[in-house]
Amino acid sequence: MPSSAYDHSAWWSNGGHDHSNSWIEAGWKVDKIELENEKITFKKFFLKEEISSKSENVTTQEQYLAELLEQSKNLILTGAPGTGKTYLAKQIAMQMIGVSTEEELEDNEQYKFVQFHPSYDYTDFVEGLRPIKKNDGLKEIGFELKSGIFKEFCEKAKNANKQAEKIEFVQHGGVDNFEEAWNKFIEKVKEKTGNNNTYDEVKTEKGLEMRMKLNENKIVILDRTNPIYIDKEKTYKFYKGLLSREGDFNISYRKAIVEHLKKEFNLKECSENELPREKKYIFIIDEINRGEVSKIFGELFFSIDPGYRGKRGAVETQYFNMHDDTEKFYVPENVYIIGTMNDIDRSVESFDFAMRRRFTWEEITAEQSAKNMKLNEVAEKIMKSLNDAISIIEGLNSSYHIGAAYFLKLKDYNNNYEELWKYHLKPLIKEYLRGMPDAKDKENDLKNAYDLKTKKSDENNG
pLDDT tens for each residue of 362-402 = 999 999 999 989 999 999 999 999 999 999 999 899 989 99
115 and 175 share one domain: no
285 and 355 share one domain: yes
pLDDT tier for residue 225 given thresholds of 50, 70 and 90: low
- Secondary structure of residue 33 in the 3-state scheme: coil
286 and 325 share one domain: yes
Structure-derived torsion over alpha carbons of residues 5, 22, 337, 147, reported in degrees to the nearest 10: 130
Burial class (CB in 10 A: 0-12, 13-18, 19+), 180: middle
Mean pLDDT, to the nearest integer, of 336-357?
Answer: 78
Question: What's the pLDDT score for residue 194?
Answer: 73
Q: What range defines the domain where residue 266 resides?
A: 170-274
Question: What's the pLDDT score for residue 232?
Answer: 84
310 and 335 share one domain: yes
pLDDT tier for residue 5 given thresholds of 50, 70 and 90: very low
Q: In whole angstroms, what is the distance from residue 270 CA to residue 242 CA?
A: 12
Whether the predicted pLDDT of 357 surpasses 80: yes
267 and 197 share one domain: yes
Distances (CA, A) of 169 to 166, 178, 233, 246, 334: 10, 12, 17, 22, 21
Whether the predicted pLDDT of 450 surpasses 50: yes
Q: Is residue 135 part of a domain?
A: no
pTM score, whole prediction = 0.65
Q: In whole angstroms, what is the distance from residue 368 CA to residue 61 CA?
A: 9
Q: Which residue has the higher pLDDT, 152 or 243?
A: 152
Q: Which amino acid is residue 209, in one-letter code?
A: E
Among 336, 367, 398, identify where a domain stops. 367
Question: What's the pLDDT score for residue 289?
Answer: 87
Among 247, 274, 301, identify where a domain stops. 274
Mean pLDDT, to the nearest integer, of 61-73?
Answer: 88
289 and 361 share one domain: yes
Structure-derived torsion over alpha carbons of residues 383, 388, 390, 393, reported in degrees to the nearest 10: -170
Q: Which residue has the higher pLDDT, 321 or 360?
A: 360
Question: What's the pLDDT score for residue 392?
Answer: 94
215 and 289 share one domain: no
Q: In whole angstroms, what is the distance from residue 339 CA to residue 361 CA?
A: 9
Q: Is residue 143 part of a domain?
A: no
Among 367, 401, 434, identify where a domain stops. 367
Whether the predicted pLDDT of 31 surpasses 80: no
pLDDT tier for residue 243 given thresholds of 50, 70 and 90: low
97 and 18 share one domain: yes
Q: In whole angstroms, what is the distance from residue 249 CA to residue 47 CA?
A: 7
332 and 421 share one domain: no
Whether the predicted pLDDT of 46 surpasses 50: no
Q: Which of 228-237, 277-286, 315-324 reaches the highest mean pLDDT?
A: 277-286
Q: In whole angstroms, what is the distance from residue 369 CA to residue 80 CA?
A: 10
pLDDT tier for residue 166 given thresholds of 50, 70 and 90: low
What is the domain count for the chain?
Answer: 3
CATH number assigned to the domain comprising residue 112: 3.40.50.300
180 and 239 share one domain: yes
From the list 166, 288, 186, the residue with the least C-alpha distance to 230 is 186
239 and 219 share one domain: yes
Q: Is residue 117 part of a domain?
A: yes
Question: What's the pLDDT score for residue 321?
Answer: 79
Q: Is residue 421 part of a domain?
A: yes
268 and 344 share one domain: no
Rounded to the nearest integer, the mean pLDDT of the chain is 78
Least confident of 125-134, 201-210, 235-244, 432-441: 235-244
Q: Is residue 131 part of a domain?
A: no
Whether the predicted pLDDT of 310 surpasses 70: yes
Q: Is residue 361 part of a domain?
A: yes
Q: Is residue 77 part of a domain?
A: yes
pLDDT tier for residue 249 given thresholds of 50, 70 and 90: low
Q: Is residue 343 part of a domain?
A: yes
